[in-house]
Chains A and B, each alone.
Chain A
Amino acid sequence: MEITGYLLQQFINGLQLGAVYALIALGYTMVYGVLRLINFAHGDIFMLGAFIAYYLISKFAIPIYLVFIITMFCTAGVGYIIEKVAYKPLRGAPKISLLITAVGVSLFLEYFLSLNAIFTANYIGFPRPFEVVNYDLSLFTVTNIQILIFATTGVSLVLLYLLIYRTKQGKAMRAVSYDQEVAALMGINIDRTISFTFMVGAALAGVGGILYGIAYPQINVFMGVMPGIKSFIAAVLGGIGIIHGAVIGGFIIGISEVFVSAFLSSTFRDGVIFVILFLVLLLKPSGIFGKRIEKV
């Protein structure tokens, strides 16, 4: 009985981390879909989300839902600017140029923002927007933070689903990810669709950043690096370019990480994710839901 409860408890903790990875992985996979680019700066947008929320909560006493909305708009704006400034001029250039630029954008954001005049390179305590409450459900406990994370992730996923499958803009995004040239022949504005996809991905990463800050309340300009890489692996695991693949991949990565910490040793919590990556690349490089393999 006790072991069941412990397992369940770890599973809930895994879902909490997995939800954040899923939100980040969605941005990787959507941007890959429309641009065939691994946007390595995506983890830094997640970090930016956490910092924007930090300033909103600590400097202005505004309700938590407004923190989410404002942060999403801000990260979406940053995503838009990054795409315009760094990637759009490279349309038609070899994919490797785009990839190198993405790494450059990532390093720029991290080191520019780590200047003492800006965020500094120090760890900063993320303010708790509310008191933590534990709900004891006999077998395991759930915190109100976890409930917030599950609810926010659930709402985000439903809204994203409606956007992609029920709106004209979503139809354009899907068409562009299938075949950019034919999408243009349907009268779809390719550049605008790509910009929009970046903004949606960045908004979701912003949400992930806030939730991460609330759950693991230590933030730093380099906090996006590992979650970024792990979420990228989650997207590859699910099948890069596939929306539901990114979500499932995110949860698998989050749960694996927590289980390894709980049952093996937290020393291996990062290592196991790379083992998963190796296994995916060896056994099914197109990912769980992937059909075809495309060269990057």
Chain B
Amino acid sequence: MDKRNMLMQIRGLTVNYGAINALNDVFIDIEKGEIISVIGANGAGKSTFLKTITGIVKARAGSIELEGKNIHGLRPDRIVRLGVTMVPEGRRVFPDLSVKENLELGGYTLRNGALKKELFDLVLSTFPRLQERLKQHAGTLSGGEQQMLAMGRALMGNPKLLLLDEPSMGLSPIITREIFTLIRLINRERGISIILVEQNAHMALEHSRRTYVLENGRIVMEGKSGEIKGTKSIIDAYLGV
């Protein structure tokens, strides 16, 4: 792969939770403008993987390079400032704050008022349903709207890389499809790279360029999403009829 086009390189990432080995020698690359997905069963280490990138969880070994600069060991707020934001599992919007206040918190790190305004307008044009609910408490939104708000909030941080943890969780198939269409839109319009972590392997494989398969903290398979989709072991384990 062309090094200049590389956004993030993760090498030999190993994370322990006490005695439990949550991630083991994980290597993952993501290019600028790419959507990759990480699929795996519950407890395979997917969320730990994202939390390690954001600095919430510290790795025991390995490196995480963003545009050639090691970010592993930095505080989460420093990593956000370098352009990595995340939509956490279960969305975790601030329920007692309004939609507008949630979005403003997403732009907490921005000093440039014009950029903040631009991103705010972008979020509202991407998610028009949030526009109608700006003054409403985030806790009163539907699951799909909360997912949109959590994505909008992450976009407000002006990311180069957006991490999405189980965006389809608890959503109906129709809303899930809508969310994934929006993920593609964000990627295409703004050139934001996306790491998608999903239990819903169908959607993840369909909407990403490349996919990594995580099992018990190890990468057991990687490649073009289209090819992985046709692999017999994957069909049996994750896409079962």
Which of A's residues lie within 8 Å of B, judged by CB? 168, 171-172, 174-175, 178-179, 181-190
B199 at the A interface (CB under 8 A): no
Q: Which of A175, A181, A190 contacts B105 (CB 8 A)?
A: A175
The answer on a CB contact under 8 Å between A187 and B92 is no
B157 at the A interface (CB under 8 A): yes
User: Within 8 Å CB of A188, what residues of B?
Assistant: 77, 108
Q: Tell me how many residues of B have a C-beta within 8 Å of chain A.
A: 25
User: Within 8 Å CB of A183, what residues of B?
Assistant: 105
The answer on a CB contact under 8 Å between B105 and A186 is yes
Give A119 to B55 CA distance when docked, in angstroms: 45
Min CB gap A90→B, angstroms: 17
The answer on a CB contact under 8 Å between A178 and B94 is yes
User: Within 8 Å CB of A178, what residues of B?
Assistant: 94-97
The answer on a CB contact under 8 Å between B80 and A187 is yes
- Contact residues, B95-134 vs A (CB, 8 A): 95-97, 101, 104-106, 108-109
User: Within 8 Å CB of A184, what residues of B?
Assistant: 54-56, 75-77, 80
The answer on a CB contact under 8 Å between B96 and A185 is no
10 of the cross-chain contacts (CB-CB < 8 Å) are: A174-B97, A181-B88, A181-B92, A182-B88, A183-B105, A184-B80, A186-B80, A186-B109, A187-B81, A190-B76
User: Within 8 Å CB of A182, what residues of B?
Assistant: 88, 92, 94
Q: Which of A179, A185, A189 contacts B86 (CB 8 A)?
A: A185
User: Within 8 Å CB of A175, what residues of B?
Assistant: 94, 105, 108
Q: How many A-B Cβ pairs are below 8 Å?
A: 57
Min CB gap A284→B, angstroms: 19
User: Within 8 Å CB of B77, what residues of A?
Assistant: 184, 187-190
Give A178 to B93 CA distance when docked, in angstroms: 10
Most buried by A among B56, B88, B94, B105: B105
Closest 10 CB pairs of A and B: A187-B109, A187-B80, A184-B76, A189-B77, A186-B108, A187-B77, A182-B92, A186-B105, A178-B94, A187-B108
With A171-B105, A171-B108, A175-B105 as known contacts, state yes or no: A185 contacts B94, CB within 8 Å. no
Interface of A is mostly: helix
With A181-B56, A185-B54 as known contacts, state yes or no: A168 contacts B108, CB within 8 Å. yes
Which of B's residues lie within 8 Å of A, judged by CB? 54-56, 75-77, 80-81, 85-86, 88, 92, 94-97, 101, 104-106, 108-109, 153-154, 157
Q: Which of A171, A179, A187, A189 contacts B104 (CB 8 A)?
A: A171
Give A172 to B92 CA distance when docked, in angstroms: 16
Considering the complex, give the chain A residue whose CB is closest to the CB of B154.
A185
The answer on a CB contact under 8 Å between A189 and B75 is yes
Give A182 to B154 CA distance when docked, in angstroms: 10
Min CB gap B159→A, angstroms: 11
Besides A186-B109, A186-B153, 19 other CB < 8 A contacts?
A: A171-B101, A172-B108, A174-B97, A179-B92, A181-B92, A184-B56, A184-B77, A184-B80, A185-B54, A185-B85, A185-B86, A185-B88, A186-B105, A186-B106, A186-B108, A186-B157, A187-B80, A190-B76, A190-B77
The answer on a CB contact under 8 Å between A185 and B76 is yes
Give A186 to B85 CA distance when docked, in angstroms: 8
Give A172 to B54 CA distance when docked, in angstroms: 18
User: Within 8 Å CB of A171, what residues of B?
Assistant: 101, 104-105, 108
User: Within 8 Å CB of B56, what residues of A?
Assistant: 181, 184-185
User: Within 8 Å CB of B55, what residues of A?
Assistant: 184
Give A18 to B76 CA distance when docked, in angstroms: 41
Give A168 to B111 CA distance when docked, in angstroms: 11
Min CB gap B161→A, angstroms: 13
With A187-B81, A189-B77, A190-B77 as known contacts, state yes or no: A179 contacts B94, CB within 8 Å. yes
Min CB gap B50→A, angstroms: 10
Give A255 to B230 CA distance when docked, in angstroms: 74
Considering the complex, give the chain B residue whose CB is closest to the CB of A172.
B108
Considering the complex, give the chain A residue whose CB is closest to the CB of B105.
A186
User: Within 8 Å CB of B86, what residues of A?
Assistant: 185
Most buried by B among A174, A178, A186, A188: A186
Give A187 to B81 CA distance when docked, in angstroms: 6
User: Within 8 Å CB of B153, what residues of A?
Assistant: 186
User: Within 8 Å CB of B92, what residues of A?
Assistant: 179, 181-182
Min CB gap B15→A, angstroms: 15
The answer on a CB contact under 8 Å between A185 and B75 is no
User: Within 8 Å CB of A168, what residues of B?
Assistant: 108
With A175-B94, A178-B94 as known contacts, state yes or no: A185 contacts B104, CB within 8 Å. no
With A181-B56, A181-B88 as known contacts, state yes or no: A187 contacts B96, CB within 8 Å. no
Min CB gap B80→A, angstroms: 4
Give A175 to B81 CA distance when docked, in angstroms: 17
Most buried by A among B55, B76, B154: B76
